[in-house]
Amino acid sequence: QIRQQYANAYRVASARRSLGLLAVAEGDYSAARRELEEARRLYEESGRLDGLGTTHLGLAQAAMGEGNWETAVQQIRQALTYAVQLQSVAQGLDGLWRWGEYLWAVGRHDEARTLLGYALHHQNASGLLQRRISAFLAAQQIAVARDEEMAGVDWEWWVQCTAPASF
Q: Residue 167 pLDDT more than 50?
A: no
How does residue 163 score in pLDDT terms, banded at 50, 70 and 90?
low
In degrees rounded to 5, what are phi and psi of residue 123?
-60, -25
Q: How many structural domains are present in the chain? A: 1
Rounded to whole angstroms, how far apart are CA atoms 9 and 151? 40
pTM more than 0.85: no
Domain-located, residue 136: yes
Domain-located, residue 12: no
Could you tell me the CATH number of the domain that includes residue 160?
A: 1.25.40
What share of the chain in percent tops pLDDT 90? 45
Question: The domain containing residue 76 runs over which residues?
Answer: 49-166
Domain-located, residue 35: no
Domain-located, residue 24: no
**What ranges in the chain are assigned the alpha helix state H?**
2-26, 29-46, 52-65, 69-86, 89-105, 109-121, 127-140, 148-151, 155-162
Domain-located, residue 81: yes
Q: Residue 151 pLDDT more than 80?
A: no
Domain-located, residue 25: no
Domain-located, residue 115: yes
Domain-located, residue 113: yes
Looking at residue 56, its pLDDT comes to 94
pLDDT digits (tens, 9 = 90+) for 30-56: 999 999 999 999 999 888 888 899 999
